[in-house]
Amino acid sequence: MAPRPFRLGRARTGLGLFATRPIKKRRRIAEYKGPRLNVKDAEREEARGNRYLFEVNSRWTIDGKARSNIARYFNHACRPNSDSTIRGGRVFIYTLRNIKPGEELTFDYGTDYLKNVIGKSNCRCPTCRRRKAKRARELREARKRRELRLARAKKTARKAASKTTSKSVAKTRATKRKPTSR
Ligand SMILES: [Zn+2]
């Protein structure tokens, strides 16, 4: 593999990998490296809170927790620009589309990881942030519409009330005036 086309940098969720030059679609950009664990050892690691376990098949899991495994810094995204593939028991990350310099490189960790580790509503990938922002905007707009409706209703109620009071004032005046007119 040629020198890495990406660098480690600050991402929204900690560290992440960012393209340093344009990368073509379907390029292998990294290998997910680490010791191979059997099912028993993988389960033990998982129980210890190791979040860098990559299941290769029903027998083997790669433990990618070592910092030397650059691929551990790929962040999850629900609509990623990269993906993983298993070839001969090794795990490679490749791009799904052309990538511009500066773009964060992501792949989909899978529904299990999203549900159990990140938490479905805690995902901060661009897709989820956009979805949440849209939802917040809709809620804000709905609240504004409700407030406007309420203000309008109040205004009409006030108008109606002032009409009845002026009428009753006129009436009282009229009744008061009556005796003096005699
Ligand atoms: Zn997401």
Å from CA of 53 to ligand 1 middle: 20
What's the confidence (pLDDT) of residue 110? Answer: 85
Residues surrounding ion ligand 1 at CB below 5 Å: 78, 123, 125, 128
Q: In what order do the strands lie in the sheet with 60-63?
A: 36-38, 60-63, 53-55
CATH of span 6-123 = 2.170.270.10
Å from CA of 128 to ligand 1 middle: 4
Å from CA of 101 to ligand 1 middle: 22
Rounded Cα distance, 97 and 104, in Å = 13
Å from CA of 154 to ligand 1 middle: 43
Q: What is the pTM of this model?
A: 0.74
Rounded Cα distance, 30 and 19, in Å = 12
Å from CA of 110 to ligand 1 middle: 11
Q: Where are the domains of the chain?
A: 6-123, 125-177
Q: What is the rounded (10 degree) CA torsion for 17, 19, 20, 25? A: 150
Å from CA of 84 to ligand 1 middle: 17
**Digits of tens for pLDDT over the chain (182 positions)?**
568 999 999 998 889 999 999 999 999 999 999 999 999 999 999 999 999 999 999 999 999 999 999 999 999 999 999 999 999 999 999 999 999 999 999 999 888 888 887 887 889 898 999 999 999 999 999 999 999 999 999 999 998 888 776 655 555 555 555 555 54
What's the confidence (pLDDT) of residue 174? Answer: 52
Nearest alpha carbon to residue 91 among 61, 46, 49, 59 = 61
